[in-house]
Amino acid sequence: MKKILVAGGCLALVVALFLLALPSILHRAGLHPEYTGETIALPGKRALVITTSHDRLAAPGEQGGRPTGVMASEFTHPYYSFLDAGMTVDLASVQGGQVPIDPQTLWYMIRSPQDERFLEDPVLQEKVHHSLKIDDVDFTRYDIVFLSGGWGAAYDLGQSPILAEKITEAYYSDRQPVIGGVCHGVLGLIEARDRGGELLIAGRRMTGVSDKQIRELGIEDTPLHPESALREAGARYESESAFRDFFATHVAVDEEQRFVTGQNQNSGVETAQRMMAIVAGRP
């Protein structure tokens, strides 16, 4: 009996040590990589971060499903990148009000430093509780428009005619904001049209979460998948791969430097910094 208790205690210790080390293990594998490029300062400029309002993960037409929403890091990483650069940052969602955050994305093992910052930040928490409704937001007043991802975005960003219209308005506005996003957030771009009625992103370099990553995570029942949707819209899709694409990252900038897109949850900081660099480099 004593040997069994000792063995059980040793096993519990090993499991505890593994759990403590798991965030570092995942980080070293590629989750939420450190950004080592140049950081940009843009005091006086404005950024708009947009999220989903959909909070359940289920096949189209089905009711219920487990809670979902925006992936935490896919709005905290760009938000704090813009804020720390001196920008004024607003948060909007498709329906306005409470932004649903996928609870799994705040689990200990995958929570990022920016996520931890959010959990201690009453200002951003207030914005999450009372996000602006996209219908009521003038996108042309911003220098950067950023679309956050997460599984919820597969249900409403690409299906919103209001969002598509406002992306088009922003694109043609005098301010010429840099537009982009990460992961499923890029679905908000697929229905925007140019002045001739053609899809605005056709022919442009773009990325978003890969079909491979979606298959590897086993969540294929959502109504839209970014890689497939971007290709169907005529975008020149590109991505990086890894032993699991959950640990890959890639950022694509179109030749006109109007659209900057990131592959997945690992790409938010670099995407935000690349967007700011374009704004900073303008005359």
Mean pLDDT value across the chain:
94
* Dist. CA 265–CA 249, nearest whole Å: 8
Task: Describe the crossing of helices 268-280 and 73-84 by its angle, rounded to 10 degrees.
Answer: 30
**How many CB atoms are located within 10 Å of the residue 236 CB?**
16
Instruction: Report d(CA 200, CA 195) in Å as an integer.
Output: 9
- For 261, counting Cβ atoms within 10 Å of its Cβ (0-12 exposed, 13-18 middle, 19+ buried), the class is buried
What pLDDT was estimated at residue 7?
A: 55
Inform me whether the pLDDT recorded for 102 exceeds 70.
yes
Going from the C-alpha of 266 to that of each of 10, 46, 127, 183, 248, the distances in angstroms are 35, 23, 23, 9, 7
Confidence check: pLDDT of 13 > 90: no
- For residues 170 and 167, give the distance between their C-alpha atoms in angstroms, rounded to a whole number: 5
Confidence of residue 22 (pLDDT cuts 50, 70, 90): confident
Say whether 223 sits in a helix, a strand or coil: coil
Does 9 have pLDDT greater than 80?
no
What pLDDT is attached to residue 47? Answer: 98
Give the pLDDT confidence of 54-99 residue by residue, as tens digits. 999 998 878 889 999 999 999 999 999 999 999 999 999 999 999 9
Asked whether the predicted pLDDT for residue 172 surpasses 70, the reply is: yes
Phi, psi of 178 (to 5 degrees): -80, 130
Structure tokens at 60: 């189209």
Contact 165, 172 (CB under 8 A): no
- What was the pLDDT predicted at 62? 85
pTM of the model: 0.94
Predicted pLDDT at 17 = 47
> pLDDT band for position 21 (50/70/90)?
confident
What confidence category does residue 255 fall into, taking pLDDT thresholds of 50, 70 and 90? very high
Residue 4: pLDDT band (50, 70, 90) is low
Nearest of 95, 218, 116, 219 to residue 159 by alpha carbon: 95
Q: Which CATH superfamily is domain 31-280 in?
A: Class I glutamine amidotransferase (GATase) domain (3.40.50.880)
pLDDT of residue 226: 98
117-164 pLDDT tens trace:
999 999 999 999 999 999 999 999 999 999 999 999 999 999 999 999
Sign of CA dihedral 243, 246, 249, 254: positive
Position 1 pLDDT exceeds 70:
no
Is the pLDDT at 44 greater than 60, yes or no? yes
What does 134-149 look like in DSSP terms, one character per residue? GGG--GGG-SEEEE--
The domain ranges of the chain are 31-280
What would the two tokens of residue 159 be? 């299906």
pLDDT band at 262 (very low <50, low <70, confident <90, very high): very high
Average pLDDT over residues 188-201: 98
